[in-house]
Amino acid sequence: MLKSIFILFISAVFSFAQKAETVCNPSTLEETHLFVWAYNKGDSTVWAVPTYNDSNWETIYKDFFYTENEGIHWLRTKVIFRNGIKGFPLILRLGRIQSAFEVYWNGVLIGSNGTVGSSKEEETPGQLFFAVSIDSVVVEGENVLSIRYSNFNQAPPGKFFYAKIDSKLNTNLFFYDLLIRLVFNSAVYIACAVFGLALYFSGNRYKNYLYYFLLSVAFLASTGFRFLMHYYNISMGMLNFFEPIFLGGYYIGEISIILFILFSFKIPHRKYHIIIVSILFLSVYVCSLWFSVALPINYEFLRIIITPYIFTLLIYSCVKKKRGSYFALAGYFVYSLPLIVFYYLGLSINLEYLHSRIVFLLTYVMVAARQVQEQQEIQKTVELRVQHLEIELLKKTIQPHFIMNTLASIKSLAKRKPEAAENLVNALATEFRLMNKISSEKEIPLTQEIELCRQHLEVMGNRWEGKYHLHVENINDSVMIPPLIFHTLIENGLTHAFNPKEDGDFWLRFEEEKDYIKFSLKNNGSLVKESQIQDTNEIEEGTGIKYVKARLEERYPGKWELKYGINNSLWEVIIKIKKIEK
Amino acid sequence: MKILIIEDEPPIAEDIKEMTLSVLSSKVERIDIVNTLFQAEDFLRKHSIDLCLLDLNLKGKKGYEILKRSVAGSFHTIIISAYIDQAFEAFNYGVLDFVPKPVERSRLKSSFDKYLGVIEEKSRCVKYLVVRKHNSNHLILIDEIRYFEAQGYVVKIFTKDEKNELIEKSLNRLSQILPDNYIRTHRSYIVDLKEISSYKHKGGGVYELELRSGEILPLSPSVYKILQQRADKK
């Protein structure tokens, strides 16, 4: 009962009326699959006769054909040659027709595979693949192909089969063709497998890469096995042993696809999805054993069920704008194309369909690549955020030690040199005001920065009892820079190049070249001449320079250069910034 | 009392000098100001001092070198700094005190009191002693030191690993910065209590201390009494 429903379901899905005939066009012939057949159980010599009327026979489709009972059966189809048949060697290839068969072309017996018999003992099973030349029997126009077969030696007694006509003259050519496809496909599968594994081990061990690897390996295994089955042309009696192994790869492949999608696109409630899919796969597998239904049919059946499910997952991912989901949807569409369309068009699933697997795998490489890209972007954002925080931390607005030291100075000056104390307080107030105004800006006019530097030099001059001057060259209002860069450099210069009570000069020069702008800041601190600056370098690479570099990188990522050193016994810092192309 | 102020900001240095003089008045034998560390090095080569008031920024390698150089001297060091977060670190190196900037007169006074022994407050968390050897500074972990012995102008440090070192600081100054378990057992010795295995009166005013290592050190009668009192209490 259940079994009938199962078969009914399959027939319902593919219930399309077609006449049991195929048109061959030898001028363009590569291979023509004979899809629709008339089928009848029983045995009669008349059934080989071309003119026999088989209109009351059952119409069957070779990929969904299901012979239930053991016995002798017949298949008939019309092959119509239209544009001439001369000059083309024509080979009829039949595969998987159980277990033994005889081939009649226009009523003439042209070959047999094993011995057809009416009992298991009488029957001798043939081989998996069979080929015969039809050059001598084929006629222009309508031909009738009849196959008489028996199925005692093969359980379960039901298989799809394949039947096609091609021009590959000898078997070697056929296998050569097969081999090239195998090598090509295998190369892609291996590359994809290695890629998946590499991604898994190099990154954060995201499981989806492992499933991608599994998928590639499953495809590789089933392709390899398929080739071996062809190459050794195994006996039909052994098919039941080999087929589950060969199809195992397909099953694992399908499961891997689902897992890959579930993990790649972080589908919610993954656990339930996995449970439901597992139950489905298991029940189909049990069904196969229970009803002795052929595994290939079950595989297709399974795909018919899960294809809409996977499409739903992918469309969901696209709607949620998951990275790479469009690639995944397109790739899966190509992958399902043979299933969806080719059947309806009456084309075979056999070898062409491997290409769709390759397209599928390659698009999923893109999916993985997009995801790696996303991870990198996330990482970069995090890094930028960290850098920004660092700048925030380094932000040299008002540091407590600066205030404390300055207050200590004011306290002392107020007693001894009230005028200096007043100057200091005024300059400090101006410096703070300016700093407050600019420190949160991304860019400020250089003239403003210079004003800030001068206030700072005034403050420090009072604190250190020295006179400091900032000389500027070639500066105009249009030059913009991130704030506090020169302020920081001057601060550094004072600390590391000057002794207290010593006067000093700073020179700031701006130059504009064709593709970059250049700032040069020099000072004549006495410690530079004494070359004691060398060991203060280490200190200088501390917060001050770090802050300047971070600020430059934030504003001109990868487009700046900072150098410093002694030039003509002056300490010089040079900043070059590439012009941004407009 | 000879004092050196190392401070790069002249007005602040003047202020510290003025406050020091007003707090210590006649106790000050001599007070000098230097603005740079080079001047300081030079000064210390030529003069001996009792106390150094050091303005310090520990940021960077150089700050630590200066700190080590200063605490390795025979004199005591008081840090005067606006970087108050560095106080803890400074104490690790055995500075006598840490005074935040701007300096308050009362705070400076308590530092001097500590120096003069008016208040007996142990320095909190000294971890290392810095010794000067071949013109460079070496750190000795306090926990590694078993006892100190005065040898003329220097003090010999006896460590657990027998790598004994000489330090310029006097026993008096050392006892001001060492943790509580180091006690002055004799005019010429400071010993870690944990290293003492026994002590006895040999008669005739001779007292002895035996260390775990078996070494016998002289013991002053007054310390003998203190040790006995402690033992009785237990």
Per CB-CB distance under 8 Å, the chain A contacts of B60 are 538-539, 542
Helix (H) or strand (E) run with residue A24 in it:
strand A21-24
B37 touches chain A (CB under 8 A): no
Q: How far apart are CA A564 and CA A572, in angstroms?
A: 6
Interface mutation vs chain B, best among A399, A407, A412, most B CBs within 10 Å: A412
Contact B83 A465 (CB under 8 A): no
The verdict on a CB contact (< 8 Å) between A535 and B62 is yes
Least confident of A4-13, A141-150, B91-100, B139-148: A4-13
The DSSP bridge partners found for residue B139 are: B130
Q: Look at residue A101 and tell me whether its pLDDT is greater than 80.
A: yes
Q: Tell if the CB–CB gap between B57 and A401 is shorter than 8 Å.
A: yes
| pLDDT of B93 strictly over 50 | yes
Write out pLDDT tens, residues A403-442.
Answer: 888 999 999 999 989 999 999 999 999 998 888 888 778 7
> Out of A407, A415, A416, whose CB is closest to B102?
A407
Buried b (16+ CB within 10 A) or exposed e, A460-486: bbbbbbbebebeeeebeeeeebbbbbb
Instruction: Flag whether residue B36 sits within 8 Å of chain A, measured between CB atoms.
Output: yes
* Tens-digit pLDDT profile for residues B103-160: 999 999 989 988 888 776 665 678 888 888 877 788 888 888 999 999 988 899 999 8
Q: Touching check for A413 and chain B: CB below 8 Å? A: yes
Provide mean pLDDT across the span A356-363: 80
Nearest CA in chain B to A497: B36
Q: Which residues of B touch A411 (CB under 8 A)?
A: 15, 102
Q: Which residues of A touch B65 (CB under 8 A)?
A: none
List CB contacts (< 8 A) between A415 and chain B: 15, 18
The predicted structure's pLDDT at residue B18: 93
A465: chain B residues, CB-CB within 8 Å = 10-11
pLDDT in tens, A485-498: 899 899 888 888 88
A449, pLDDT greater than 70: yes
Is the confidence at residue A577, as pLDDT, over 70? yes
Q: Is A400 on the interface with B (CB under 8 A)?
A: yes
Q: Where does the pLDDT of residue A76 fall: very low under 50, low under 70, confident under 90, or very high at 90 and above?
A: very high
Q: Which range among A362-371, A426-435, A553-562, B60-69 shows the weakest confidence by mean pLDDT?
A: B60-69
Mean pLDDT of A338-354: 53
Q: Rounded mean pLDDT of chain A?
A: 80
* Mean pLDDT across A544-552: 82
The number of C-beta contacts closer than 8 angstroms across A and B is 73
Reduced to 3 states (helix: H, G, I; strand: E, B; else coil), residue A50 is coil
User: Is residue A239 scored above 80 in pLDDT?
Assistant: no
pTM exceeding 0.90: no
